[in-house]
Structure 1
Amino acid sequence: MAQYMDVHHGMKGITADQLMAAHKADLAVEKGEGVHFERAWADPESGTVYCLSEAPSPEAVQRVHELAGHRADEVHPVPYSI
């Protein structure tokens, strides 16, 4: 399965608790799309959130985020990681 990094903009001021709640919302629905969200990062100053996942497609990643209530602004394949 491929890895994807998705990006959410406009989340200025996001707290650690809000990031955890959003991540848990993804985890609650990910299985139905064959996705697994591995990790999430947030910068509350810029309002940018990043999520790393394994998924069959970028569309599957987006469907999970939409079901969880926070559509990604960008979804990028991660062909290499070290």
Structure 2
Amino acid sequence: MAEFMDVHHGMKDITSEKLREAHNADLAIEGEEGVHFKRAWADPGTGTVYCLSEGPSADAIQRVHERAGHPADEIHPVPITA
């Protein structure tokens, strides 16, 4: 399964609680698209949120995010890791 890093902009002043809620919303439906959201990070100052996931395609990742109410602005494949 391929890994992806997606980026959400405009989530200014996001809190740990709100990040956890958004991540849990993804986890609740991820299986329907055959994806798994591994981890999420946020910078409240810039409103940027990053999510690391694995799945069959960027489209599948986006469908989960859209259904959970927070579509990604960017989705990047992560073909090499160390």
Q: How many residues align?
A: 82
Which deviations, in whole Å up to 9, do the C-alpha atoms of 1:24-76 show, x marking residues without a partner?
Answer: 00000100000000000000000000000001000000000001010000000
TM-score normalised by structure 1 residue count: 0.99
Q: For structure 2, list consecutive stretches of 5 or more residues without a partner in the other structure.
A: none
Unaligned residue ranges in structure 1 (runs of 5+):
none
Question: Are residues 1:23 and 2:23 paired?
Answer: yes
Correspondence for 2:33: 33
Identity %, equivalent residues: 70
In 2, the alpha carbon distance for the partners of 1:42 and 1:27 equals: 17
Task: Name the CA distance, whole Å, in 1 between partners of 2:45 and 2:80.
Answer: 28
- Kindly report the root-mean-square deviation, in angstroms, between the aligned alpha carbons of the 2 structures: 0.3
Which runs of 4 or more aligned residues in structure 1 lie more than 2 Å from their structure 2 counterparts after TM superposition? none
Instruction: Tell me the residue number matched to 2:77.
Output: 77
Aligned residue for 1:65?
Answer: 65
Q: Distance in 1 between matches of 2:44 and 2:15?
A: 7
> How far did 1:3 drift?
0.1
Work out the CA distance in 1 between the residues paired with 2:12 and 2:80.
Answer: 29
Which residue pairs with 2:5 in the alignment? Answer: 5
